[in-house]
Structures are given as C-alpha cells and as structure tokens.
Amino acid sequence: MQAMMKTESISAGMLIADRYRLEEPLVRGAMGTIWRAEHVGLKAPVAVKFLDPVLLGDQEMRGRFLQEARSAAAVRSAHVVQVFDSGTEGGIPYIVMELLEGESLDQRLNERGLLSPAELRKIFGELARALGKAHSLGVVHRDLKPANIFLAREGPYEITKLVDFGIAKVRSEALAFTQAGTRVGTLLGTPQYMSPEQARGSGAVDYRTDLWALAIVACECLTGRCPFSGKTVGDLTVQICTERPTAPSQLGHVPPGFDAWFFKATGKAPGQRFKSIAAMEMALAPILSSAEARAMVPSGHARGRATPAWSLPSASQIRSVSRTLATGIELRVRQAREFLREAGSKLELVLAREAVYFREEMASVRGRFDILFERLPEPRRRIALVALFSLCGMGLLAVSRMERAAAISASPEALAPERAPAPGTPPRAVRQAAPALQPAPPAEPAPPR
C-alpha cells in the first residue's frame, strides 16, 4: 500500500528538489521510470530517473541505483550519458541526467534492419572510447546490449551514448558503495550477452566481460542474430560456458576477417580475449573499412543470395562527398574573384554577387543534405546521390564560364572586331614579320625658306 501511494505521488507538474518540474514519463525500465522534466531556473530540459518504489526495501537495489549515478558521473565522456544531480524525493531516490533525443540501437535494428559496415565502425569506435575511459577508472558496465546503447541526435549529426550503469562493477574504493556489492552466484545482466564468467555468477568479473558482450552486439548488428540461441536461461548458460559460438558468417553476410576477430573477442577464458577495448577496436576497424571500400564497387553475388550490382553508400559517405564538392566550388569562386580583382574588370561586382550566392547556396545545400540523408530510406539514397553530383557539376560548369567571361573582359582588344585588310595587303602575320615589304609612306615636301 505504501509503495502504491508513493508511485501515485510522482505525477506531471511535480517539483523535485525545488528545481526540476516533471512533464511526462518517457520509459519504464527494470529499476524504475524515466521522466522528461525541466530545470525551472535554467529553463533547460533534463531527464529524471526514479527508483521503482517496489524496490525501496531492497538495500542492494538502492545501492545499485546510487552506484549508477556515481559511475556515470565519474566517466566523463561525450559518449556516456551525463549525470547532473541525484537525491531523494518523498523517500524515492532519483537521478537527474541529460535528456537524449533519438533512439536506442535496439530500436534502430528492429525498425531499419542490419547496420552497414560503415555504421558499425562509427558506433563501435565511439563505444570503445566510452568504455576505454570507464575501464581506466575501474568501472565495468556488465550489461552491454543494444537497448543500453543510445543513438542520440544532435542537429543533423548522431552520437553514440552508453547508458544504464545500474549493474556496473566498480573496483575503485572512491566510487564504490559498500551496500552495492555482488553476491557470488547472483546472475546479473542480459543472458544473451553474458560472458562465461558472468553467466556462472563468478565474482571475478573484470573489464574483459564487456569485450565479450560488445562482440556479441557487433555480430547482431551485421547479421541480425545472436550466436547463442538457447530456449531457456539454463540452456543459454550451458551454451555460453561450454560450447563454441556459431560463426557469424553462418548467421549472415559479414566482411572477411570478421569471424576470426569475433572468436578472438569471445574466448572462453578472459586471457584469450583482446588485451583492451582499444586493441579490440583497432583490430575491427580495418575489417570494416575494407568492407566499405568493396561496397562501392560491383560485388556480384553473396553466398546463397543475389545482391545488387553495387551497394548503396552510407549517409556519412554521401555527406563527405557533398562537402568535398561544395568546398571545391567555393575554391573556384574565390579564384575567379581574385582574378577579376587583379584584372580590374567591370564585371567584378556582378561576379562578386554570384560568388556570395554560390557560397550561401552551397552552405544551405550541405545543411539540407546532412538532414536529408539521415531521413531518406535506403532505396532513395542512390537517386539523391546522382542529383548531388549533377548539382555540383552544374555549379562547376557555371564557374568555368564565369572565368572565361572574366578573361575576355580583362583584354578589351579581344572584343574589338578586326578590320578587313585592303585588297592585295598581305596578312597581318606577314606584315609584322617582314615590315620591309610594306610600301614606304610618301615624303612630305620641305617647307620654303
């Protein structure tokens, strides 16, 4: 009854700590509910996470909730959700975090399907930076999965954020809460992504359990399937602890070399895995980069199924091409302006206005393409890419014509029509080469003395 009253007391419009006004609930998780709120003093949006009132009597769960706040706040990284404040309201602990706009990796995979090698390389690299900072502080996440990887939108860009340190393991005494310890034999985490030592409930879990989980996530991003498929938690645990995982190439199409990388990252013993998350990311990057390069040329047929003659470019690749071409156009315009300024042409004012127009248009085009390619479905990106190349080609052609016009205007003699020579007059080239052949002008009579 007490828990029910406390749950009902959390409602829209409620003021938390005299600073945060609740607006609406966003998502409910295993440990509590996250609300959208506003900092009344700064007028800034924030997210407030409350511990589920049902768990208030569990001291270990309270300790883990507070541990989440301290662990996430200690790992200062652009790729970890920021924690601003924490406290207790009406006996219910809360955490104030940055409000993220976007979707989780789990939602992305469910709605759009598999990731391309380029997309995985970006996401994996940003996660590696976040985990590298966490591991250097002695913080082990222990619950890496697509649902805890958030793809936050910041304008036209997307940044990967690691969230939910609720069951993180902390080695540093400065960060750890004594009541948040882990009992031997307790199963913590999501079974499909657990390492063997974590599935056994061993207390000797270190940062290498995160390497295992991240390899499972990478496999799922490329194939859409997990390498372990037990129907129950018991079957899944036995598979993880005793059986070799299914090769990713048997689950779907993966780049060459990915299988070897995956088996290295999922060694049964922690010592068989990569030495660090940085080494793991460094080994994966060239595998995905080579797959990106092959995706831009005809690829024939994948094993077991037909594929298009060439793969559609990713949004990041198209964005890079558009910026390069737009920068080239701006450079040509600047060169034309400098030429006209030195030549002192009367057309300088007109072409200066054209240069401003081109510069503004290119900046606008780059901004629109950044947003457009994030929203376009995959089948339409090819058409958009052709349109982009056509637009940039027309711009370059226009600049070239302006340069030719400027060159003509800089030499007025070129614009004057050449008079036709008198009959019998040798060509101009002959007259210039042999002036002696020209008739001498008649001598003027001497003036009388």
Catalytic residues: 143
Q: How far apart are the C-alpha atoms of 203 and 183, rounded to whole Å?
A: 7
Q: How far apart are the C-alpha atoms of 187 and 232, rounded to whole Å?
A: 14
Structure token pair of residue 76:
């200062």
Q: How far apart are the C-alpha atoms of 59 and 88, rounded to whole Å?
A: 15
H or E, element range at 424 = none
H or E, element range at 144 = none
Q: How far apart are the C-alpha atoms of 132 and 184, rounded to whole Å?
A: 26
Of 246, 224, 275, residue with least CA distance to 116 = 224
Q: How far apart are the C-alpha atoms of 84 and 16, rounded to whole Å?
A: 14
Q: How far is CA 335 from CA 340, 391, 393, in A?
A: 9, 20, 17
Q: How far is CA 108 from CA 147, 151, 187, in A?
A: 10, 9, 28
**CB-count exposure of residue 38 (10 Å: 0-12, 13-18, 19+):** middle
Residues whose CB falls within 8 Å of the CB of residue 104, separated by 6 or more in sequence, listed in order:
146, 147, 148, 149, 150, 151
Q: Where are the alpha helices (DSSP H) in 266-345?
A: 277-295, 315-343
DSSP 377-394: -HHHHHHHHHHHHHHHHH
The answer to whether the beta carbons of residues 195 and 209 sit under 8 Å apart is yes
Pairing, β 139-140 against β 92-98: unpaired
